[in-house]
Amino acid sequence: MSNKILTKKALIPGQTSMLVIDCPQIAKKAKPGNFVILRIHEKGERIPLTIADTDKEAGTITIVYLVVGKSSALLETLNEGDTILDVCGPLGKATHIEKSGTVICVGGGTGIAAMHHIAKGHHLAGNHVVAIVGARSENMLLFCTELGYFCPELLIATDDGSTGHKGFVTDLLRERLEQDKDVSEVVAIGPVPMMEAVAKVTKPFGVKTTVSLNSIMVDGVGMCGACRCSVGGETKFACVDGPEFDGHEVDFNELKMRLTQYKEEEDLSMQMFRSCSCHGE
Amino acid sequence: MVNKQNFTPTRTPMPEQPADVRNKNFKEVALGYSKEEAMAEAARCLQCKKPFCQKGCPVEIDIKGFIKHLADGDIPSAYRVIKETNALPAVCGRVCPQESQCEGACILGKKYEPVAIGRLERFVADTFDSDSACEMITGHTACSLPNDQFKVACIGSGPSSLTVAGYLAARGVPVTVYEALHEVGGVLIYGIPEFRLPKDIVAREVGALWSKGVTFMPNYVGGKTITVQDLFDDGFDAVFIGVGAGLPWFLNIPGENLVGVYSSNEYLTRINLGRAYEFPKYDTPAPKAKNVAVIGGGNVAMDAARTALRLGAENVYITYRRTQEEMPARLEELHHAIEEGVQLELLTSPIAINGDENSHVKSMTLQVMELGEPDDSGRRRPVAVEGKTKELEVDMVILAVGTGANPVLLEATPGLDLNKWGYIVTDAENGETSIPNVYAGGDIAGGSATVISAMGAGRRAAKTIADKLGV
């Protein structure tokens, strides 16, 4: 595996970028729903990122990341031709995809990238894929062109109303579910509050709802239990039992609180990174 | 017979960092013998006709043989003898439970203190140096030339796989070792802290294997990045599975998912593999707390507790449901832990972890226990004292209650027979699994055990593979 960055594209300048990385071994095996764990430099931490796309022939995987903390800020400093120190994967259980009829894929923010891979999988399995995407404003929407290629319906919501529906993805989802009683599944990937809201909306409709959990992880192969979450009253590991789970069974409050575990340390790292030009090394 | 003239009843003391200094740093606790000290200790060996120590060693090192050379000051010969059967003496000299193995069987121990076999093994391994990778691996200057006719793969890079790689590399067989994490060494890297096993020691052993033609492939997850079938499709002649038992157990008690509750695996992996103790110089954050409870009484519990002290905790408690007598940890580690300030909360078993308004751990409720009748293992069984509990104020809880078989590779390997606990069924003699040319050893084949028993299994499997290949 060379882990060389072949393409880098700023999707939202300074905030969200896309990398196409040369990883033939991972590309060969990766399926929608899988993720990788990256380490950017010798002193770096292991960070999980969902695979947004693969090209098996070219031997590449695509990842999309939001610059939030030190590690993603460091990743952002890499350019085409640079090499990512470690790329490990594909990890996690692949999305369960079968021909089932109409599938609604809901994506929010950077989650649209991961949603895109799953929507593509459902499309290739012969499903009618409805994509509902949401962001703060028009210039923060991702993958709309690509989704347009294979989603017969693409519904857009923005907080500021700069394009599409002014409001939340859940408004569009509720409307769509009311119109169509034959939706076989709803898949939601995005910020935790969004996934929680989606699960709330779909519950009365009794539609199977899959969410993808972005828990804190260390090894990503079921060894540490950092990513544990409660699903249907049982403890599961997001890295090996998931990351996708039944949205109606997930304890979102627990997930939200566990995600804040290293907040202080993350802030300190970021502060140090911002205050020096040495990339925090 | 004890030669009374120059007989020393007590063993040569091991220089150590003072307890109140070392509990604030991650440097190695025991500093190792000087040559004079090692030779003096070696001279205590009676050179028994029937060396019980050798029988007590899972890989049957010719202990009296290497000690004889050492007593004569001949370190290269001593090294060669050890390396005949033990691939990782610098590791074993540090982490083996010698008191229940070689030293436990030493005849001197009946009346006096047994010969410090572990310390001598460590001294020989640390002191011997050679530019020849072959000599570092086998102690001999002549190894077989590379033989490209065959190739063998190991999945997992812990002690069992390193043993397989060393054994086959010495016979010229190219070995490729796949490792899921980014660093090579398995539990020796992510599990055992620097203060007990410096990473440089592991790196030296791994480095010698690299030089002898072993290829290490980090970031390859067995069952995900590559499967056993992929390896055979790639032309490997045999596959050795040494993936350890890395699935952490939890207790299923209320509050276990609160913020501030960690598995020992997460805690130690962050610290050891991620070097979180050097945060923010390293990016992996180390969870910190004032009052820490570690649940369990094994070596891993000791490692976690001693690590927490080094990270600045004011009070670190080890809660264990039996008494100190029954603790499975190595005696030396328990003593070191107590010296460093770890407090024991014996005869207690956690029944709930309690959180504050932010879902952060604030205390733990412990059931008070007493010892009842002996169970099948011969140890007296802990029994709850009806209605008697106590509250321990802590802001972090680390669970070191054991691990099980990680299913990632096993689920991706059809045809592999597992026992009722989920471990791989192997032939005890040769390590063969239910799949032809697939071998397994270490914790994944027998459940959590010691480094040396994993190495013993690796050695048996490697010998079988070598015999089959005719090398």
| 3-state secondary structure string across B42-75 | HCCCCCCCCCHHHHHCCCCCCHHHHHHHHHCCCH
pLDDT, tens only, B376-418: 877 788 999 999 999 999 999 999 999 999 999 999 999 999 9
First to last CA, chain B: 43
Show which residues on chain B lie within 8 Å of chain A, measured between beta carbons: 180-182, 190, 218-221, 224-226, 246-248, 250, 252, 256-257, 259, 262-263, 265-266, 269-270, 274-275, 278-287, 358-359, 406-408
Whether B1 shows a pLDDT value over 80: the answer reads no
Of B226, B280, B408, the CB nearest to A272: B280
**C-alpha to C-alpha distance for A54 and A24, rounded to whole angstroms:** 10
Average pLDDT, chain B: 93
Q: What is the pLDDT of residue B26?
A: 95
Q: Which residues of B389-399 are buried (b: 16+ CB within 10 A; e: fewer)?
A: eeebebbbbbb
A116: nearest Cα among A63, A38, A178: A63
Q: What is the pLDDT of residue A281?
A: 43
Residue pair A47/A33 in contact (Cβ under 8 Å)? The answer is: no
Half-sphere exposure of B182 (CA within 13 A, CB side): 26
- Does the beta-carbon distance from A86 to B406 stay under 8 Å? no
- Does the beta-carbon distance from B358 to A257 stay under 8 Å? yes
Is the CB of A31 inside 8 Å of chain B's CB atoms?
no
Is the CB of A278 inside 8 Å of chain B's CB atoms?
no
pLDDT, tens only, B303-358: 999 999 999 999 999 999 999 998 999 988 999 999 999 999 999 999 999 999 98
- Does the beta-carbon distance from A88 to B180 stay under 8 Å? yes
- Does the beta-carbon distance from A224 to B265 stay under 8 Å? yes
pLDDT, tens only, A34-77: 999 999 999 999 999 999 999 999 999 999 999 988 888 899 99
Cis peptide before B174 (omega within 30 of 0): no
B342: nearest Cα among B329, B326, B360: B329
- Residue B318, beta-bridge partner list: B294, B344
**C-alpha to C-alpha distance for A212 and A244, rounded to whole angstroms:** 4
- How would residue B3 be classed by pLDDT, with cut points 50, 70 and 90? low
pLDDT, tens only, A66-93: 998 888 889 999 999 999 999 999 999 9
Give SS3 for B234.
coil
- How would residue B80 be classed by pLDDT, with cut points 50, 70 and 90? very high
Residues 91-120 of A with CB under 8 A from B: 91
Q: What is the pLDDT of residue B449?
A: 82
pLDDT, tens only, B234-293: 999 999 999 999 899 999 999 999 999 999 999 999 999 999 898 988 889 888 899 999
Residue B454 to residues B5, B228, B461, Cα–Cα distance (Å): 41, 20, 11
- Strands B175-178, B215-217: pairing is parallel
Of B257, B266, B283, the CB nearest to A71: B283
Averaged over B213-220, what is the pLDDT? 96
Q: What is the pLDDT of residue A280?
A: 43
- Residue B358, beta-bridge partner list: none
**C-alpha to C-alpha distance for B165 and B173, rounded to whole angstroms:** 9
- Does the beta-carbon distance from A254 to B359 stay under 8 Å? yes
Where does residue A78 rank: exposed (0-12), middle (13-18), buried (19+ CB within 10 A)? Answer: middle
Letter for the amino acid at B338? I
pLDDT, tens only, A214-250: 999 999 999 999 999 999 999 999 999 999 999 999 9
Share of chain A above pLDDT 90, in %: 86
Whether B222 shows a pLDDT value over 60: the answer reads yes
Helix crossing, B35-42 with B117-127: angle to 10°? 140
Share of chain B above pLDDT 70, in %: 99
Whether A278 shows a pLDDT value over 70: the answer reads no
Q: Which residues of B touch A71 (CB under 8 A)?
A: 283
Give SS3 for B310.
helix
| Sheet strands side by side (includes B380-393) | B348-355, B361-374, B380-393
**C-alpha to C-alpha distance for A53 and A100, rounded to whole angstroms:** 22
**C-alpha to C-alpha distance for B49 and B438, rounded to whole angstroms:** 40
Torsion of CA B208, B212, B214, B215, to 10 degrees: 90
B163: nearest Cα among B300, B273, B246, B59: B59
Give B185's DSSP letter: S
Averaged over B187-191, what is the pLDDT? 95
- Does the beta-carbon distance from B280 to A229 stay under 8 Å? no
Residue B53 to residues B42, B58, B148, Cα–Cα distance (Å): 14, 10, 39
| Sheet strands side by side (includes B315-320) | B261-263, B396-399, B291-295, B315-320, B343-346
- Does the beta-carbon distance from A235 to B274 stay under 8 Å? no
Number of H helices, E strands in chain B: 19, 15
Query: Quick one: chain A helix, strand, coil %, rounded to 5?
Result: 30, 30, 40
- How would residue B143 be classed by pLDDT, with cut points 50, 70 and 90? confident
Is the CB of A260 inside 8 Å of chain B's CB atoms?
yes
pLDDT, tens only, A104-163: 999 999 999 999 999 999 999 999 999 999 999 999 999 999 999 999 999 999 999 999
- Residue A92, beta-bridge partner list: none
Q: What is the pLDDT of residue B64?
A: 96
Of A29, A230, A258, the CB nearest to B225: A29
Where does residue B315 rank: exposed (0-12), middle (13-18), buried (19+ CB within 10 A)? Answer: middle
Averaged over B36-42, what is the pLDDT? 96
- Angle made by CA atoms B360, A73, A85, in degrees to the nearest 5: 100
Of B248, B257, B358, the CB nearest to A224: B248
pLDDT, tens only, B433-449: 999 999 999 999 987 78
Q: What is the pLDDT of residue A71?
A: 87
- Does the beta-carbon distance from B274 to A218 stay under 8 Å? yes
Residue B25 to residues A179, A221, B308, B370, Cα–Cα distance (Å): 65, 30, 11, 36
Letter for the amino acid at B299? N
Where does residue B330 rank: exposed (0-12), middle (13-18), buried (19+ CB within 10 A)? Answer: buried
Q: What is the pLDDT of residue A160?
A: 94
- How would residue A276 be classed by pLDDT, with cut points 50, 70 and 90? low
Is the CB of A46 inside 8 Å of chain B's CB atoms?
yes
Residues 175-234 of A with CB under 8 A from B: 218-219, 221-226, 228-230
Q: Which two tokens stand for residue B355?
A: 């959180």
Whether B6 shows a pLDDT value over 70: the answer reads no
Is the CB of A266 inside 8 Å of chain B's CB atoms?
yes
Of A29, A45, A280, the CB nearest to B224: A29
| Element housing B6 (H / E) | none
Give A172's DSSP letter: H
